[in-house]
């Protein structure tokens, strides 16, 4: 499991290595369960500014985009403001830390 600070924005991102680890931490962090992930290439879960993802390599960017969009919504910042520059830098930061 990787733990990534979302600074300069609030929150923490947890990146599970596989679905089993995701399910374990979903229960531990959020007291939740997702039944039958068969066929899924990844998943994203959040509560406030705490985010949890797992993804196969080909869908990591997809799941991290959910994280970035959620955090921007959480802080009230439009992802497209300033030509989307802050969003793009944030997403690039997440990807480089999570891969």
Beta strand pairing call for 12-16 and 50-55: parallel
DSSP code per residue over 4-47: EE-TTSS-EEEEESSHHHHHHHHHHHHS------TT-SEEEEEE
Which tokens belong to 69? 């969009």
List pLDDT tens digits, range 54-82.
999 899 999 999 999 999 999 999 999 99
User: How would residue 36 be classed by pLDDT, with cut points 50, 70 and 90?
Assistant: low
Global pTM value: 0.91
Residue 25: band (very low, low, confident or very high) from pLDDT cuts 50, 70, 90 = very high
Residue 35 has pLDDT above 80, yes or no: no
Whether residue 47 is predicted with pLDDT greater than 80 in this model: the reply is yes
| pLDDT band per the 50, 70, 90 thresholds, residue 32 | confident
**pLDDT at residue 57, as a whole number:** 87
**Domain range annotation of the chain:** 2-98
Whether the predicted pLDDT of 37 surpasses 90: no
- Sequence-separated (6 or more) residues with CB below 8 Å from residue 56: 41, 42
């Amino acid at each position: 499991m990787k733990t990534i600070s979302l600074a300069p924005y609030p929150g923490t991102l947890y990146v599970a290595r596989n679905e089993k680890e995701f399910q374990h931490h979903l229960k531990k962090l959020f007291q939740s369960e997702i039944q039958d992930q068969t066929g899924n290439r990844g998943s994203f879960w959040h509560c406030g500014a705490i985010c949890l993802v797992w993804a196969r390599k080909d869908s990591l960017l997809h799941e991290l985009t959910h994280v970035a969009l959620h955090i921007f919504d959480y802080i009230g910042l439009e992802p497209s403001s300033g030509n989307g520059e802050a969003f793009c830098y944030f997403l690039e930061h997440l990807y480089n830390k999570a891969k």
